[in-house]
Amino acid sequence: MELESKVAIVTGGTRGIGRAIVLDLATNGADVALNYRQSADLAVELAETVRGMGRRALIVQADVSSFADAQAMAQKVLDEFGRLDILVNNAGMNWDGVVWKMTEEQWDRVIEVDLKGTFNYTRAVTPIFREQESGKIVNITSINGLRGKFGQTNYSAAKAGVIGFTKACARELGRYNVNVNAVAPGLIETEMVQQAPEQVREMALAEIVLGRLGLPEEVAYVVTFLCTEKARHITGQVIQVDGGQYI
C-alpha cells in the first residue's frame, strides 16, 4: 500500500469530503488522526471504521480556529503514534451573505476557521516536518477561492487566502523535502449540498461540463495521490476537482 506506516492528521474529518479523505488514506495504509468540535458520535464511528480496516485511529476534540488546540493535537499524535507524515487541512465552513449585509461575526468566523485554521495546523506540524526533512501538506480550498462567488465574500476571501498560503509554504518548505499543495473542489455531493435549495444545485449543474456533481471520494483520491511518493515532484499547485465547473 502506498501509505503503509504513514501517519496523517485530517481536520474536519467526520463528514463529507473529510470523511472520504480519512477512509481513502486508511485504505492506502495510513493511520489517521482526526479532530471534532461537536460531532463526537460521528468521530467515534469513523474511528471504529478505520480500525476495522486494520489501521490505527485517534480522535481529538479540537477547534481548528484555536492555535493552542492545534499545537496540542500535533503533540498528541506524536505521543500516540510516534511519528507524523501527512497533514490534510480540510476543515471549513461557510456563512453566506452579500457584503453590504455581512456582519463582522460572519466575516471573522469564516476567516478564523477556513484560513486561520489552515495556518494553525500547518504551524503545528511544520517544525516536525522540517526536523525529519519530509512531509506532505494538502490544503482543501475551493474553485470559489479562484473565481469568487456572489454572496460568499468571506468564504471566497478565505479560500483565496489558502491558495496564497499554499504557494508561499511550498516555497519555504521545499528545501526540507516537504510538499505543499491545494485541492480546489467544485460543488460536491455532500450532506450539506443535498440540503441546499434545488436552484443552487441546478445553477451548479449548468456550469459543470461533465453534467453531474462530484463525489467526496473523487476529491479524496486526488488528496491521497498528493500524499504519496508518486507526487514527490509536485508542490505549490492547486488542482481543481470540479468536473469542468471553472472552465
What are the catalytic residues?
155
Residue 111, burial from CB neighbour count under 10 angstroms (0-12, 13-18, 19+): middle
Q: How many helices (H) does the chain have, and how many strands (E)?
A: 10, 7
User: How far apart are the C-alpha atoms of 174 and 81, rounded to whole Å?
Assistant: 25
Strand order in the sheet with 178-185: 57-61, 31-36, 7-10, 86-89, 135-140, 178-185, 238-241
Helix (H, G, I), strand (E, B) or coil at 8: strand
Which grid coordinates are listed for 225? 495521490
Beta bridge partners of 240: 184
